[in-house]
Amino acid sequence: MSALVSVEGLKVHFPIRSGIVLNRKVGAVKAVDGVDLEIEEGRTLGLVGESGCGKSTLGRALLRLSPVTEGKVIFDGVDVAGLRGEELRRIRQDMQMVFQDPLASLNPRQSVETILTEPLRAHGIAYDRRNRVRELLDQVGMPPSAAQKYPHEFSGGQRQRIGIARAIALEPRFVIADEPVSALDVSIQAQVLNLLEELQQKLGLTYLVIAHDLAVVRHVSDEVAVMYLGGIVEQAPSDDLYSQPFHPYTKALMSAVPVPDPRIEATRERILLQGDLPSPANPPAGCRFHTRCPFRQEARCDTERPELRLIGPGHRVACHYAEDIAAGRITAHEVTPEEVFAG
């Protein structure tokens, strides 16, 4: 199988400017700093990380909704990063996005019919108004009567269904879902996740699912990439990643997720990270995670940035000592939290 989307050395830096007259660039927030990714056609890649790690910026950069500072985003053989104007607009037909907060991403003054047909009008695609809207609503499990209603008349779960219907209106090949369920009530999340899976099977979609919830990502993804401070620290097939995480950050992240089962909660081992996420404007030298890593080793971790390297079949990790940690040759030690100042 070939990759539908591949990202090479992607960097997205936002300049920090100072001064009114001279407006000099005094630094940069390195939101995404050297990411390589591949997503095969018809598969789902999950992207997890904490807030501020750059996962949403990465997703937006793939659609060129954020400017690309450096690197390539190759979609079906075309480098999206270099496109502009009409060419970019045309390729966006094939790449669509589902946003986190459906209330904020749907225009409150447009009826559902207008919302769903706007992408078709924008791209100048001829359509049969009645049938296309009904078909789209049917695909996301909504009644045809919804067409004449407005976003405020729906519940959160239904709004997200409308957001998904809008994303598939252009029959895209690639859909980026940025936190598709985190704004929804617990009992609704499963409905939307099931809908996303169903649509993938029916329409042969390729997904990038961005979320902070590891359990959600694991459920929907074939492959999962873990992001920390602008870089990917581990990437593996979903089952492998969760059964044998190599990177200390992945381990900590997984052990931090509460499990709704008191027996497991009482017995499982916790790796409690100290301190906060460092600022992406001034990331730590060497391995970005070394300031919070319980397995940090002198001299190497804080000077040399580890490359993402193959450690098992399809399993890549960016840690100098992944094997040593797995074999128990390096044990966890105390970490003194380093000071982090909020922006």
Partner 1 sequence: MPTPAAPLLTVRDLAVTFGVRGQRAVHAVDEVSFEIRPGQHVGLVGESGSGKSVTSLAIMGLLPKRGVRTSGEVLWGGRNLLTADPDELSRLRGREIAMVFQDPMTSLNPVVPIGVQVSEVIRRHEKADRREAQDRAEALLRQVGIPDPGRRLREYPHQLSGGMRQRVLIAIAIACGPKLLIADEPTTALDVTIQAQVLEVLKELVADTNAALLLITHDLGVVAGICDEVNVMYSGRIVESTTRNRLFATPRHPYTGGLLESIPRLDSPRGAPLRPIPGSPNQTIPWTEGCAFAPRCGNRIDECTSSPPPLKYEGDRDLRCYNPLSDPARAEAVQA
CB of 321 to partner 1, least distance (A): 20
* Cα–Cα distance measured from residue 5 to residue 3, given in angstroms and rounded to the nearest whole number: 5
* Cα–Cα distance measured from residue 285 to residue 302, given in angstroms and rounded to the nearest whole number: 6
Q: Which stretch binds partner 1 (CB under 8 A): 8-16, 64-72, 86-94, 249-257?
A: 249-257
* Cα–Cα distance measured from residue 213 to residue 221, given in angstroms and rounded to the nearest whole number: 12
User: How many residues does the structure list for the chain?
Assistant: 343
For Cα atoms 147, 153, 155, give the angle at the middle one, nearest 5 degrees.
Answer: 105
Strand order in the sheet with 315-317: 95-98, 174-178, 206-211, 44-48, 223-228, 231-237, 315-317, 309-312
**Binding flag, residue 284, partner 1 (CB under 8 A):** no
Query: What is the enclosing helix (H) or strand (E) of 12?
Result: strand 3-18
Q: Burial-class residue 147 by CB neighbours within 10 Å (0-12, 13-18, 19+).
A: buried
**Binding flag, residue 267, partner 1 (CB under 8 A):** no
CB of 329 to partner 1, least distance (A): 25
* Cα–Cα distance measured from residue 273 to residue 255, given in angstroms and rounded to the nearest whole number: 10
Judged by phi (left if over 0) then psi (alpha if -120 to 50, else beta), residue 230 lies in left
**Binding flag, residue 100, partner 1 (CB under 8 A):** no
For partner 1, which residue of 98, 193, 210, 227 counts as binding (CB under 8 A)? 193
Q: Which stretch binds partner 1 (CB under 8 A): 9-17, 39-47, 108-116, 273-281?
A: 273-281
Structure-token pair, residue 74: 């190759």
For partner 1, which residue of 93, 110, 114, 191 counts as binding (CB under 8 A)? 191
**Binding flag, residue 265, partner 1 (CB under 8 A):** yes
For partner 1, which residue of 185, 304, 307, 323 counts as binding (CB under 8 A)? 185
CB of 127 to partner 1, least distance (A): 30
For partner 1, which residue of 256, 285, 303, 312 counts as binding (CB under 8 A)? 256
CB of 258 to partner 1, least distance (A): 3
**Binding flag, residue 149, partner 1 (CB under 8 A):** no
Q: Identify which of residues 169 and 227 has a Cβ nearer to partner 1 in the complex.
A: 227
- Coil vs helix vs strand at 100: coil
**Binding flag, residue 257, partner 1 (CB under 8 A):** yes
Residue among 233, 337, 340, 213 at smallest CA distance from 280: 340
Q: Identify which of residues 138 and 185 has a Cβ nearer to partner 1 in the complex.
A: 185
189: amino acid identity, one letter: Q
Place of tokens 């100042």: 341
**Binding flag, residue 259, partner 1 (CB under 8 A):** yes
Q: Which stretch binds partner 1 (CB under 8 A): 26-34, 85-93, 143-151, 215-223?
A: 215-223
* Cα–Cα distance measured from residue 32 to residue 210, given in angstroms and rounded to the nearest whole number: 14
Q: Identify which of residues 49 and 119 has a Cβ nearer to partner 1 in the complex.
A: 49
Contacts of 252 (CB under 8 A, 6+ apart): 271, 272, 273, 294
**Binding flag, residue 65, partner 1 (CB under 8 A):** no
Q: Identify which of residues 6 and 189 has a Cβ nearer to partner 1 in the complex.
A: 189
CB of 177 to partner 1, least distance (A): 15
**Binding flag, residue 164, partner 1 (CB under 8 A):** no
Binding mask 294-323 for partner 1 (x = CB under 8 A): ------------------------------
**Binding flag, residue 73, partner 1 (CB under 8 A):** no
Structure-token pair, residue 192: 């939307």
Q: Which residues bind partner 1 (CB under 8 A)?
A: 50-51, 155-158, 185-191, 193-194, 212-216, 218-219, 238-239, 242, 252-265, 270, 272-274, 276-277, 336-337, 339-342
